[in-house]
Structure 1
C-alpha cells in the first residue's frame, strides 16, 4: 500500500515533533559524510518561454531504507496569480524492493527540514554565548525558524525586519506570545545584522540584503532564503569572503547557490573556500568554528536528503498514529 500524506496530515504529524525533526536532519547529514547516503546534484529544468524552473531533488539512504525524489517547481509568475512561488511533492520508494511507500505534499516538509537544518548548523557553528537572534524576512519560513531555534536555547531577544511593517509586527507579537522571548522590529536589515549574534536571512532576494561590512567578529549567519538559482543571493561578496563558509552539500552549492557562485565568478573565492559540508563538521572530519572571532556562514541551499529524512520520520509517525490515506497504487 502507498501512503498519501496531505499538507494538513503533515502539519498534524509535525506538531510537537521539533526535536525529532532536528535529530533526523542531523543524522542524514552525518550519513552523507560517512558514506551511508547518496545525494546527486539536482538537475535544473528551465521551462522554455518562462521564468519557471523545475528541480528534481533525489537522494537515497541505506539507514533510512528509502530513495526519494522531490519535484520542486519554482514559478515566479505565481506571485501575480496569488499562488505560492514554490510548490513541491515528495515521492518515496523502498530502497530494498522499489515499492512506492509514500507520496507527500512538499510545502511543510520543506519548511520543517529547512528550519531544522538551520538549528543543527547553528548548534554546531555559533558561539555558545550567543544571546540575540536576528531574522531578516517575516514569512512562514521566519516563523518556522523562530520555532526551531528559540525553545530550550539561551537567546534573550529577537530582532527582526521585513518589507511589510504590519507583518513584521505580527511576527514580533507572535514570538513574544507563543515563544516567550522578547522581540523587536528594527528599522532595516543593517540594524538587524549589527544587533545579532546569530543571523538568519529568510527572503527570496535576488540582490544582497546583507553587506559584509556590517558583520562583526564572532557572528554566525544562516543564509537560507534565496531560491536555488545561481543569480540569487542574500549576502554580498564581502560577506562571503569574510566568513568561514559551511555548505549543506558541496555539489548542490556548486550548481545552484548564488551565494558562492557569484563570488567564485568574480575571483573573490576559490572552490576550496566552500567545500566544507555540515555533515563533515558534525562528524568531526572538518573544523567548524575555530575561534570566538570567526564569522561563520551556513549556506543553506536545501537538499533532497533532508526531504528523505523527513519522509522517513513522517511515514513512521503516520503508521504509528493511523494518519493519512492508503491506496493500492500498483493495482
Structure 2
C-alpha cells in the first residue's frame, strides 16, 4: 500500500526526539558506508527557477527517497521553494509513500542542527541566538533545547512583526510540548545576537552575508542553515568561514551548491580541505569534533536527501503502527538528552 501523507498531519505524526535520533544515525550510516548520498544534478527551467532531484538510499533500512525540490525565487503566488518526496523500497522498487516536503524539510533541518549542536557545541551552552524568525526558527528552538540546557533565546529579524509572530508561535509550541517557556530577547541587529550566543542558528534566505566572522566569540557554535541551494547565496561571510572549524553534511554537495563554501573559496579565505569534515565522520570518531572550549565550530547545512529519508522512515513507522519498527537508531548510541 502507498501512503499519501498530507503536510498538515506530518508534524503530529513525527516525534522530534525520534527524528533527531534517526537523523544522527543517517549521518553515521553515510560515514560508515551504510548509505549512499549522490550529488544531485541541478536542472534549470524557465527563468531563474531550478529543479533539484535529490536521491538517497539507506542500505540498513532498505529505503530509497527521491525528493524533487523546486527553487523559484520569482514566484510571487506562493513559496519560493516547494518539494515532494517519493519513498521506495530499495530492493523491489515498490512505492511506499508520497509526502509533501514542507514539514519534512523544516523538521529534518532542525533535527540536523540539533545533531550538530549535540556533537560540536559546548555542553554548557545556554543562550540560543537566532538570525531569522520564521517557522524554521521555532522548530530550531524546539530541537536545540532537546540537546542543550537552553534558557534564553535572542532573536533578530528585519521585521518586528515577524519577531512578534515568532514569540507567539514559540509560546504555542512550548505549551503543546509541555516544556517551560524560555526568555526571549529581541535584538536590534544581527551582531548583538552573535555576540551573546553560545549556539547561533542563521535562518534567512539571504543572498549577501548577514553575519560577519569578526563578531564570532571564542567557544561559539554556528548552524548556518538558511541560504537556499544556490552558489551565489550565503549568510556567513568569508571571514566567518575561515575563523571556524567547518563541518558539513556532504562534502560533494557542499562544493556544488553552498554559497558559503564556494564564495569563500573564490575569495581565497578557505580551501576545499576546509569542507571535508563531514558531520557523520565526526559522530563516528573518524575526524575530531570540538577539541577545546574556545574553538569556534560551524555546521554548514545545505540539506541532504538522506535527512529526508530519516524523516520518511520515522513517519512510515508511526503511520503504520509497527510493533517491531525498523531499526532507526543504532544500539549503543548515546541518546539525545532531554530537559
Provide the TM-score with structure 2 as the length reference.
0.91
Q: Please say if 1:52 is aligned against 2:49.
A: yes
Maintained 8 Å contact 2:107/2:139: yes
Q: Which residue of 1 aligns with 2:83?
A: 88
Q: What is aligned with 2:138?
A: 143
Aligned pair 1:67/2:68, yes or no?
no
Identify the range of structure 1 (28-37 vs 288-297) with the bigger mean alpha-carbon deviation. Answer: 288-297
Q: Please list, as runs of the form range in 1=range in 2, the aligned pairs for 1:23-172 lying within 5 A after superposition.
A: 23-48=21-46, 50-78=47-75, 80-81=76-77, 83-151=78-146, 153-172=148-167
Structure 1 match to 2:272: 271
Match for residue 326 of structure 1?
Answer: none
Matched residue, 2:218: 217
Q: For the Cα contact (< 8 Å) 1:175–1:182, is it kept in 2?
A: no
Q: Cα distance 1:288–1:152, how it changes in 2: closer, same or farther (>3 A)?
A: closer
- Give the C-alpha shift of residue 170 in structure 1: 2.8
RMSD: 1.3
Residue pair 2:114, 2:146 contacting (<8 A) in 1 also: no
Say whether residues 1:259 and 2:257 are aligned partners. Answer: no
Q: Please state how far the C-alpha of 1:268 moved relative to its aligned partner.
A: 1.5
* Paired position in structure 2 for 1:2: 2
Query: Do the aligned residues in 1 keep the contact of 2:124 with 2:148 (CA within 8 Å)?
Result: no
How many angstroms apart in 2 are the aligned matches of 1:306 and 1:156?
Answer: 28
Equivalent residues, number: 316
Alpha-carbon distance in 2 for matches of 1:153, 1:195: 16
Q: Is the 8 A contact 1:202 1:223 kept in 2?
A: yes
Q: Secondary structure at the match of 2:191?
A: helix
What is the TM-score when the length of structure 1 is the normalising length? 0.93
CA distance in 2, matches of 1:135, 1:68: 30
Structure 1 pair 151–124 and aligned structure 2 pair: CA distance change class (3 A): closer
Deviations 1:102-160 (CA, angstroms, capped at 9, x unpaired): 11111111111000000000010001121110001111111111111124631121100
Counterparts of 1:175 and 1:120, CA distance in 2:
21
3-state SS, counterpart of residue 119 of structure 1: helix
SS at match of 1:298: strand
Q: In 2, Cα distance between the equivalents of 1:173 and 1:8?
A: 19
Counterpart CA distance in 2 for 1:301 and 1:71 is: 15
Q: Could you tell me how far apart the structure 2 residues matched to 1:18 and 1:184 are?
A: 25
Counterpart residue number, 1:328: none
1:12 deviates by 2.5
Give the distance between the partners of 1:175 and 1:52, measured in 2 at CA: 32
Q: How far 1:86 moved relative to its partner?
A: 0.7
- Structure 1 residue 180 corresponds to structure 2 residue 181: yes
* Whole-angstrom distance in 1 between the partners of 2:149 and 2:168: 19
In structure 1, what is the Cα distance between the partners aligned to 2:263 and 2:299?
Answer: 16
Residues 1:235 and 2:236 aligned together? yes
Given that 1:253 and 1:301 are in contact with CA atoms closer than 8 Å, whether structure 2 keeps it comes out as yes
- Aligned partner of residue 56 in structure 1, secondary structure: strand
The residue aligned with 2:297 is 296
Instruction: Report the equivalent of 1:286.
Output: 287
Change (3 A) 1:153 1:268: closer
Measured after TM superposition, the shift of residue 265 of structure 1 is 1.5
